[in-house]
Every structure is written in structure tokens, then in C-alpha cells.
Structure 1
Amino acid sequence: MAGDRRPYARDNDQRDSVKRRSEARQQSASGAEKGATRRAKFVSNEESVENKLKLSTIGLVKLEEFQRIKGELEEERQRAAANTLARSAAKDSDPEAQPGKPTKKQRTKNKQPRAVLSFDDDSGDDNVVANKPRKNPDVDTSFLPDAEREAGESQQREALRQQWLRDQEVLKQESIEITYSYWDGTGHRKQATCQKGWTIAQFLNQCRSQVPELRSCSVDNLVYIKEDVIIPHHYTFYDFIVNKARGKSGPLFNFDVHDDVRLENDIRVEKDDSHAGKVCERAWYERNKHIFPANRWEAFDPEKTYGSYTIRDSKQGASKRTW
């Protein structure tokens, strides 16, 4: 049995050695092919230049011609190497740049516009971008600040103010007829012509020239009473006319006088008719201010509202009525 096993062992050893030798040959062949490929990469340019030089210098060629052709081929090889280097550097800097694949910049440029939310019909083109909203020319913008408009309005207001002042000056120059009564306990009717812009002091000075009893008195010693109100000397007739001022028993701005507004008219209805003003000496007023009619007189107060006039009814036990 031992003799039978030995031939089988030798056969196995032979098969193993043959297998190992075949694998070694295959490995050496593949290594040789890889080395040849690497060498071909590095010497391809050299061989191409040499081949071109051989093809360009067939036969007898002068040394200068040979050197010129060789220099041109070297320059061409260097240019090709430089182009290859530039392409490899561009690939390294932009890894996405692959042949046939668009770059990032190109993809951004070719990117479709984002869809815009719209409630219109879907039949329209989805790629149409909504128009930018425009201003409505019919909207009222008068409330917005506008320097040019404000300057124009300011000029217009100033022009109107100047026109109003001119109109008031014309009004002050108008003449009025004033009926008054020199009062020394009894009335003596007189009339004086003056301007609306005159002060009470100017009016009293003219009264002095009309009443002989007052010529010896100065204006400061005279008193003017209108509608039971003592008028200060610095006021003008224009002030009462414009402001429609009134006294205790009637308006101060009417100077036309009637006999008595309460004799033929309803006493419950006040009229714009005016009573004649009184001019008297201050000394007489001081002596008689405790008796009628001087006891009703009081100094004019522009802040006071005198309201409606009052009368006494003797039949009702001297009770006071007000309308």
C-alpha cells in the first residue's frame, strides 16, 4: 500500500509546480504590459518628435535645415505640453467641469425662473414673471409733503393777507355819520362826521368844537357812553364794526339813530337799531353816578358777554324781564 501511494504524491507535486509556474508567467506578463504602458506614456512625445524629424529629413539635408526643423518640432511639443498642463489645472480647479457636462455658471444661467403663485387660469404660461406694480396717476397725493406746493400755498396766503390788509385800510377811510347827545342831565342832539378808523379820542376832540360848553375841557376830561357802556378812548369805531360788539342795551356797531326803538316795536324782539351815544364831562359823571341813568353805566370789557337787554315793568312790581 505504501508503494502505491508514492506515485500519486509525485503526480500532485508535479501538478502544483506546473500551476505555480503558469501563475508566475501570467504575473510577469501583466507586469511587463503595465510597465510598457507607463513607458509609452512618457516616451510617446519623444517618439513622435523623433518620427516627425525622421520623416522631415529624408535623404541628404543641410545642417542648418536639420536644426531649423528640429527646433520647430521642439516648439510644437512644448506648446502641446503647455496646453495639456492648462487643461489638467482647469479640471483640478473645477471638479464639476467634465466633458459634456455644463459648469455651475452655465447651470445658473440656464436655470428656469421660479414659479410665481397665481390665481389666474392655468392656461397661461407658467414661466411668465409677474409685472412690477405701477403707480396709479389718479390717486390723491395732496396729503403727501411737497415743498414746491407748500411754497406756492405760502405765497398765496401771504398775497391774500396783504390784500385783506389793503381792504381794511380802505374800510377805515370810509366816512360815517355819528349821532350823539351832549349830556348834562338833559340831552342836546348833535351829529359828527368822522372816519371808521378814528379813535374815540379823535371823535371827542371833534365834539369839543361843536359844543360850546365843552371847548374849555380837554379830551381826557370827557366820557363817551354808548348803550350804557363807557368806551375807552383808545378804541376805534372800526374795532366795534368788525367785531360786531354790543353793549348792555344794544349793538355798539350801529351808529344810525332812531327816536326810540321800543315805542312802536315789540319790546321782546331786539333790533339792530342803535341809541344815540352820550358825551359828558367826567366831573359830572363822578357827581351823578349814583342816580339814573349814570348808575347803569359801566366800563367796557371786551371779554364780557352782555347778552340780551333788560327792562323793568312797573305794573309787575318793578320785576325785571329779560329777552
Structure 2
Amino acid sequence: MDSSNPSSGAPSRSETPNPANRFTSQNATAEDLLRSQTVGLVQLSDFRKRRAEALEQKEREAHDLALGRLSTPGSGASTPRDGQPTSKPLRKKKKIAKGKVSFGYDDEEEESGTSAVATPRSKSPENDTASKKKLGPNSALGVIPKTMTKSALLREVQQREQLRKEFMAIQEVVKATEIAIPFVFYDGTNIPGGICRVKKGDFIWFFLDKARKVGAELGVGGDKGRREWARVSVDDLMFVRGEIILPHHLDFYYFIVNKVVGFSGLMFSYSSEPTTKPEVTKETPSDLSNYDPLSKPGKKAPVKQIPDEELEGFNDDPTVTKVVDRRWYERNKHIFPASVWEEFDPTKDYTKGIRKDAEGNTFFF
């Protein structure tokens, strides 16, 4: 048996061609490429684009084949004949650049140039740019808060304390401002009571105590009434502003600063701003070297009193403020106008709703 002829049982090192493909063309035409890339219904513009790409690819392959870069599958270059070994393609050696400083820009340009020549359809430049984009930590946060140091926290506490002192000083100045409240004594008829000077920080009961003394001095109700006004207690008197009975424990500053509204507008239309600039006292260490425990405090200079005509509220209607004996109110609260008076409720809006008397009758005025 000839040694040149290998036995049929010996394994063949070369790839055996498929018999089914012996009579078919191994070169895929542009129509085959277009048919493999087009699946299902496709828009006309997309179909034309893919056909142009297939024709361009076939022209490129034909040009490379003419230059000898490619070999046809049927030329036998891939399968050795007569035991001749296949020649391996030569690899180009990379030249090592010496003495050059590179920052990666040239490599990126070369990569972009090669990818532009042969880019598979599965990848697109958008995906490449998205993969190269780097995201910083906590990119969802708009503004990163700065860390507060001990000195910054201490400075913030000092600023808050300074603002608190300024606000307290403004409050003290406003509460110390005097106002004039004209009033009448009411027992079914309006009896002039004059004007009471009070401060915005005084309580309602303080005004009633002053009004009680004025009633005793004026002798409201005759000689017998004078004695009754001298013996009456503040708890037996009522302060009626408009048609609302104000409680004794509230001060005028509460109604002024909150701008409390009654049935006919603001209860007290006085200013809540200080008339003079408040002075914030700074704590200074006292000098104990000149301290004399036996020294007497000096006399205070007399404060100039502002005339009543220049005070807020001097020109108000005196019938709006009524000083009423509670015992008279209990006997006549079913009679107008006492039947429409209401106890003050800070949660109630007096500008809305239907007004009714104590028996539930609706008013039409």
C-alpha cells in the first residue's frame, strides 16, 4: 500500500467541506446580505438604507479582492492541497515610540478612525459615548450641603441669640408705648367715663381697675353709685369691645400684634411697630473696685409725659368700649343689645358666618 495515500480510517487534519454546499455559490451576493439583515416589515427608508449599505459592502469586498487582500472561499486557500501547509499571515510589529509624551488623544483618534471604517450594526456611537461617560458620586444631589464646623455653629448660635435679644427689645418698646382708650359705663344707657391711659402691654383687668376708680371719682349713679363703684371688684366688671366680651387675662398687645378682627373690623387699630428705636443692652462686666455698698441710688430724672391728644386712640368713638357690671348683664342678657354680645373665642372667624342671638334668632342687619 502506498504511503502517500493515507488510509480512509485515518483522521483528516483538514476541514472536510459540506457536500450540500458543493454546488452552491460560496460568495454571498448583495441580495443575500440584504435578505439576512431584513426581517419582517421594514419602513421604506430603512430598507433603502440597508440596501445601500449592502451594495457598498460588496463593492468594498470586490475592491479588496482585486488588490489581493481577500481570498475567495472556493479558491482553496483555506484548505491545503497535496499536504502543503498553509501560510500564516504576517503580523505587523508595533513600533515603540521613544521619547514621546502622550496623553491618550492619539490613541483615541486612532480608535475612532478604525471604528468608523468597520462598525457592526449591533453597536452605535451613542452606546460608546454613553459607556465612556463617567458619573460622579451622588450625581442625583443638586446642592451638597457644606459641613458645619464648630466655629460656624457657634457663630450661628450667637446670631440667633442676637436676633432674639433684638426682637425682645422691640417687644418691650411696643408694650411700653402708651395709648388712650375712651370708654363709657353702660347700664342700658351710655354714661361718659372719659379716657384711660394704659400701655399696650397692660392687661384687660388693669384697664377695668382704672375705670372702676374713674367711676368712683365721677360718682356714676349718684352718691350711692359712688360707694358701689368703690366697693366693686374687678371680677364683677366686663370689658365689651364692640359686641365681643374680652377676657381679663389677655393684654392689649395680644390683639394688636395678632391683628384680631371682630364683627366690624380690627378690634384695636393701633400700630405694632415701635415709635422709638430700641436699644439692645450688651452685658458688660461690672467694675467692683469702685463699688460702695453704703451708697444710695440716685434719683431718676422725671419722664416727660405725652399729652392725651398725641396718643393713639384719642379720637376713637367712646361708645365702642363699654365697661359693664356683670350683675346687670346677667339680669339683662336676653335684651338687646346685651343679647348679641359674645365671649371672645380666638379660634373663631368673626368676619364669616350668620349672626344669631342667645335664643338662636338670626339677625338681618
TM-score, normalised via structure 2 length:
0.43
Q: Considering fraction of residues, name the structure with more helix.
A: 1
Structure with greater Cα Rg:
1
